[in-house]
Structure 1
Amino acid sequence: MVREKKIFPLAEGVTTADTFAVIGDKEKFQKHKHAWRVWRALKEFGCVVYPVAEELQRIDGSKVYPNIAQLKDKVTVIVPCLLPESLKSLVSDAASLGVSKIWFQEQTWTLEFQQECDSVGIEVIRGCVLRHKSHLPMRFLNPCYWHGLKDAKVPSKRFGR
């Protein structure tokens, strides 16, 4: 018997059925910083998600792509986890790949990115992916729980939800 994959809403029209590219760098993936946490959370949600970092081959057994161009026709949402100065060609690269949405994490969005996205028809989502994670049983101690208190949550597989 084949189990039907359950689809959960995330932010502003993004669901767990979307395919994602998480852009970080070697340090943000290897030292389990934000890019790694976002990538792991999306994987836990059951999403198809690709890590992207130039100087990294593999992380936790998964292939890491050197750039988003390697993901042509594979992703619908790009999730940048680097500061804007490291993402100069983000919008033009996303547009050339046919990406429909960029989900800007805290401190990655700029007005310039917004204007570029508007001009090429890419939808902008703002806010942390981790706000949609169910932080059981320690939810009250996790800042992402409080920041995303009213956001849709994806049930945790670990705690039978």
Structure 2
Amino acid sequence: MLSNHETFFALDRFAVVGRSQVKPFPLLSYRRLKALGKTVHAIDPSTDRIDGDPAYPDLAALPGPVEGLIIETPKAEVHDWVSAAAALGIRDVWVHQRHETPEALAVAETHGINLRTGSCAVMYLDPGVSVHGLHKLIMKLTGRY
């Protein structure tokens, strides 16, 4: 049986949010979702292109609806992105490990958002031998995968 975190990647249409002006855009998540054949949009208010693809300033600017949202922004922005997801009816959101806030958790609970927290999305997306693979092994061994 798949864990709640694993079911996130059964979705087909995603947006990945980053702010490359502050920290590198989450290219590993973005590229891996694309490699899996998913529809993926980059959201980055600080640039208009990510990895050669259009980058959108916010969720409302996307060319179509998404089912899943991965948020890898500075922690101070997470509440606003979860709120924006709630406003658009996005019910599956992933917040990068240790970036969730009490305010973001409250918004998710109020709006029925399945908010995945506590781990890195790449751990679930990277099938190879890497730091993420080691993280995956540790999480499986400790029953937190």
**C-alpha distance in structure 2 between counterparts of 1:42 and 1:67, whole Å:** 19
Greater helix content: 2
* Structure 2 CA distance for partners of 1:98 and 1:62, relative to 1, 3 Å: same
Give the equivalent residue in structure 1 for 2:89: 98
| 2:123 paired with 1:131 | yes
- Partner residue of 2:102 out of 105, 111, 128: 111
Contact 2:79 2:103 in 1 (8 A): no
Q: How many residues align?
A: 136
Q: What is the one-letter code of the residue matched to 1:131?
A: M
| 2:46 paired with 1:55 | yes
SS at match of 1:15: helix
Deviations 1:95-146 (A, max 9, x none): 11110111111122123211210011111112211112111xxx1xx22111
Shift of 1:70: 1.3
**Unpaired runs of 5+ in structure 1?**
1-7, 152-161
**C-alpha distance in structure 2 between counterparts of 1:73 and 1:20, whole Å:** 10
* Structure 2 CA distance for partners of 1:72 and 1:88, relative to 1, 3 Å: farther
**C-alpha distance in structure 2 between counterparts of 1:107 and 1:92, whole Å:** 18
User: TM-score, normalization: structure 2?
Assistant: 0.80
| 2:75 paired with 1:87 | no
Give the equivalent residue in structure 2 for 1:14: 8
- Partner residue of 1:143 out of 104, 122, 131: 131
Contact 1:28 1:35 in 2 (8 A): no
**Unpaired runs of 5+ in structure 2?**
none
* Structure 2 CA distance for partners of 1:119 and 1:9, relative to 1, 3 Å: closer
**C-alpha distance in structure 2 between counterparts of 1:120 and 1:55, whole Å:** 28
User: TM-score, normalization: structure 1?
Assistant: 0.73
- Over aligned residue pairs, what C-alpha RMSD do you find? 2.5
Contact 1:20 1:75 in 2 (8 A): yes
Deviations 1:11-64 (A, max 9, x none): 2421343311111113478xxx35122111211222111110112111222111
